[in-house]
Chains A and B, each alone.
Chain A
Amino acid sequence: MSFPLTFWDISLWLAITAIVLLITSELISPYYGKTNLLINKKRLRNVALTVSTLFLITVAIRIATIIISP
């Protein structure tokens, strides 16, 4: 009994989620006149940026692994 997803599976999932969240966050920005959408846009943007950062960390780990491994 073990968690079936590997580190790289999680990385892929983070990449897709980050793209979806970043695009959504940009499209519902008040700068495009979307002032009648009743969700906390600041929080959504923060989540999008956090998920993107997590994905970039996994990329950095991957690069580090490639460089370090003989």
Chain B
Amino acid sequence: MRIEVGFAQAPGIIMLILGTIALVASTISTSTILAFIGLGLAFWGAILLYIRPEEYTKKVLLEATLSPSLTTLNQMIQEFAYKGDVTYLPPKYFADPETTKIYISKHKDTSLPTPEQVQKYENQPVARTPRGMLLTPPGIQLSKLLEKSLGTSFIRTDLKNLQQNLPKLFIENLEIAENLEIRAEDDMTKSTTIHAKITKPFYADTFKEAEEPSQLTGSIGGPICSAIAIAITKATGKPVRITDTKSSEDGNTIEASYEIIEE
């Protein structure tokens, strides 16, 4: 059996072997100094092997593969000429309780379809009707990853819980961004608005590239803004619209506003 040792693992293994030799030698010679050296080397060697990174992909590679799919989605929406409101529909509109999709109406200010109407087209990846179209959001996989990291579905949380947990998931667990601030503005007369400020997001360059004034970067949002919209719509159980997205000049800060629609 041949064991392959990677370049990154080599220092850890060497330290572990040297540490073990020093520990054995310290036992034979009864040397305290050698024992401390051995203990330190063996311990740090084991630590180096244990804390080695999970599998990573180069950022440029990720951007190169992600950018075309976002552009294609954008071109497809423009081609179909659906220019109405973009709404993230909550799972109650679908037969599958984990599904969330985007509904783009044909014209502005039209009412949302009923769950029965939506369920007819639920299983189609791009469902087009004369009134509007259903699309899978660009942040669906990211939202599933966030749910996996959280250990529960966003359906089983509420807005307050989301405000507490989402920054932790973004910063600590998945390291998607350096900071995430979520602020809810509850206007009793109108609907609830949620403001999210994402600092140094991982997708900053991708977001900048696809940043021509389009429906994608605006109402649908990039993968991160879309994932937050999915989390909000699942947690509240209400349709959500991205009303505003702003990216700073250098792309290091993205500010998005979400409106929870009262039905």
Using CB atoms and an 8 Å cutoff, list the residues of chain A in contact with chain B.
Answer: 1-5, 9, 13, 17, 21, 29-31, 33, 35, 38-41, 43-44, 47
Stretch in B50-58, B119-127, B189-197, B205-213 with 4+ CB within 8 Å of A: B50-58
Contact of B35 among A1, A5, A40 (CB under 8 A): A5
Return chain B residues, CB-CB under 8 Å to A2.
Answer: 27, 30
Contact of B51 among A1, A33, A39 (CB under 8 A): A39
Q: How far is the CB of A41 from chain B (nearest CB, A)?
A: 8
Q: How far is the CB of B25 from chain A (nearest CB, A)?
A: 11
Return chain A residues, CB-CB under 8 Å to B78.
Answer: none
What would be 23 A-B contacts, judged by CB atoms less than 8 Å apart? A1-B27, A2-B27, A2-B30, A3-B27, A4-B27, A4-B30, A4-B32, A5-B32, A9-B35, A9-B36, A13-B39, A13-B40, A30-B175, A31-B172, A33-B200, A35-B178, A38-B53, A39-B51, A39-B52, A40-B50, A43-B50, A43-B51, A44-B47
Instruction: Compute the total of residue contacts between A and B using a CB distance below 8 Å.
Output: 60
Return chain B residues, CB-CB under 8 Å to A33.
Answer: 178, 200
Rounded to whole angstroms, the CA-CA distance of A31 and B52 in the bound complex is 20
Return chain A residues, CB-CB under 8 Å to B32.
Answer: 4-5, 9
Q: How far is the CB of B145 from chain A (nearest CB, A)?
A: 16
B31 within 8 A of A: yes
Q: How far is the CB of A36 from chain B (nearest CB, A)?
A: 9
Rounded to whole angstroms, the CA-CA distance of A30 and B30 in the bound complex is 43
Return chain A residues, CB-CB under 8 Å to B40.
Answer: 13, 17
Contact B27 A47 (CB under 8 A): no
B28 within 8 A of A: yes
Return chain A residues, CB-CB under 8 Å to B39.
Answer: 5, 13
Return chain A residues, CB-CB under 8 Å to B21.
Answer: none
Return chain A residues, CB-CB under 8 Å to B202.
Answer: 35
Return chain B residues, CB-CB under 8 Å to A35.
Answer: 175, 177-178, 200, 202
Rounded to whole angstroms, the CA-CA distance of A30 and B179 in the bound complex is 9
Q: For this complex, into which size category does the number of interface residues on chain B fall? A: 20 to 34
Contact A40 B178 (CB under 8 A): no
Return chain B residues, CB-CB under 8 Å to A44.
Answer: 47, 51
B214 within 8 A of A: no
Q: How far is the CB of A39 from chain B (nearest CB, A)?
A: 5
Return chain A residues, CB-CB under 8 Å to B177.
Answer: 35
Q: Which residue of B lies closest to A48 (CB)?
A: B47
Q: Which residue of B lies closest to A39 (CB)?
A: B51
Rounded to whole angstroms, the CA-CA distance of A30 and B50 in the bound complex is 19
Contact A4 B175 (CB under 8 A): no
Q: How far is the CB of A11 from chain B (nearest CB, A)?
A: 12
